[in-house]
Structure 1
Amino acid sequence: MSNNSKDTIFIGKKPLMTYVTSAIIQLATMPLITIKARGMTIAHAVDVAQIVLQKTKPAFVIGDVKIGSESLVSQDGKNRDVSSIEISLKRAEA
């Protein structure tokens, strides 16, 4: 599994359906994509994955889900641990 920028969707502050549309477009041409999020946007990543699955049922399924934490330097210079998630969506096997 390659994690280049073309098969990865990074969740941020845009509206939810922006990411859903992007995921569906990418899944039309790629067999596998990864949705990544950190911190407060983890809930949006889960929502995006669930909406994509509901709209494309039964064409795609959830593959691997990886959770972890990353150490980041905040604006005040302190190290903070931030939770992260990676959700893989792939074509369903016939």
Structure 2
Amino acid sequence: MSNNSNDTIFIGKKPLMTYVTSTIVQLATKPSVTIKARGLTTSTAIDVSQIVLKKTKPAFEISNVSINSESLVSTDGRNRDVSAIEITIARKNS
């Protein structure tokens, strides 16, 4: 799997359906798309992946899920561990 920014959706503060639409548009031309999120947006990434799978059933599946922690420096200069998730959705092999 390539990790080009073209096949990666970064979850932020936009409405949920914005990310669902972006993911479906990317999947129309790419074999797989990775949804990435960290911190409070991890639950949004999970919601996006599940909505995409339900809307595109049975053409796509979750091919990989990676959960980890990233160490970031906060605005007050302290190190903080932040949860991160990567969900890869790929075309099913028939």
TM-score range, shorter chain: over 0.9
Correspondence list, 1:1-94, <5 A: 1-94=1-94
Q: Deviations over 1:20-55 (max 9, x none)?
A: 000000000000110000010000000000000000
State the Cα distance separating 1:93 from its structure 2 match: 1.3
* Runs of 4+ with >6 A deviation: none
SS at match of 1:13: coil
C-alpha distance in 1 between matches for 2:9 and 2:65: 14
Letter of the aligned partner of 1:80 in structure 2?
R
1: CA distance, partners of 2:32 / 2:54:
17
Q: How many residues align?
A: 94
Q: Which runs of 5+ in 2 are unaligned?
A: none
When normalised by structure 1's length, the TM-score is 0.99
1:50 partner letter: Q
1:50 is paired with a residue of what secondary structure?
Answer: helix
Scaled by the length of structure 2, what TM-score is found? 0.99
Compute the displacement of 1:70 (Å): 0.3
